[in-house]
Amino acid sequence: MARLRTSIEGIGRHTIGFVAFVGGLGLLWLGSLRGARRLAGGGRARAMAWAAVWAQMVRVGVRSIPIVSLVVYCIGVILALQMAPVLDQYGASQQIADIIGVAMFRELGPLVGAIVLTGFAGASIAAELGTMKVSEEIEALEAHAIDPVRFLVMPRVVACGVMTICLAVIANVVGVAGGMTAAYMAVGYDPIQYVIQSLEATSMQDFVTGLIKAGVFGTLIALLACYLGLNVTNGAEGVGQATTRTVVYTIVALTFVDLLFTAVFYQLGW
């Protein structure tokens, strides 16, 4: 009986903790939305808000382009090399362009770009905010009547959301280019014909659904990183734990959200 009670209490604690965690993310997102209104305002507040957002865009998005491009290009090459021998046996090697194009635009471009961005920027954001929390810089901002969510979280959320969409576009192009390179080397697929086939196989719907996913992925990365960073405890050890949790939680969340999007788009016939 005591063991059953302990098990039920453990389930209850984890459930309450999960609900509190999701609620905290929701409140952080709402606070970011309120802070984002400064971007449409006027005066010095608007200029400062845009300066903070641009700085985060460069840090989060521009600097991650090389690593995202390298990873997605390699994935495109791998997919083409894996499919080429099998499809060539059935005389369907031209389908390589169709498969890679649709896979990149709808799934791999946004997801792989977001996962790489999680390790490149998400962990960095969590460590930065966690260090500020440990060194009491967050309390100093609050003491000066400066909202940490508006000043620290909002620029990172906006930057991650926007730049993940941009990275998804780049990842789509680079991934298709990687598949084209491998298809040409493996089965002699004409590059021009490959591009034409890819354009015919993909639609605007494929492109838009991928960008919708990317925008949500980027927002989720920033929210998780900021939330875990702002709730650091136990000093330097807590910063390390927050960084690790950011990467793990974000990858799990991205996979789950991607599953939800795929199921919804499937039901809608998209």
pLDDT, tens digit, for every residue of 39-62? 776 667 677 778 888 889 988 888
Say yes or no to pLDDT of 245 above 80.
yes
Indicate the pTM of the whole model. Answer: 0.89
What was the pLDDT predicted at 47? 78
* Residues 68-104: tens digit of each pLDDT: 999 999 999 999 988 888 887 777 777 888 889 989 9
pLDDT at 41: 67
pLDDT at 130 over 80: yes
What's the domain count of the chain? 1
State residue 170's pLDDT score: 94
Q: What was the pLDDT predicted at 256?
A: 93
Mind listing the pLDDT tens digit for each residue in 16-47?
888 888 888 888 888 888 877 777 766 676 77
Question: Phi and psi for 136 in degrees, rounded to 5?
Answer: 65, 25
For residue 18, what are the domain limits? 2-268
The number of angstroms, rounded, from the C-alpha of 47 to the middle of its chain's C-alpha atoms is 27
Closest CA to 35 of 61, 64, 56: 56
Q: How far apart are CA 25 and CA 44, in angstroms?
A: 29
Query: Could you tell me which residues come within 8 angstroms of residue 219 by beta carbon, excluding any fewer than 6 positions away?
Result: 29, 157, 160, 161
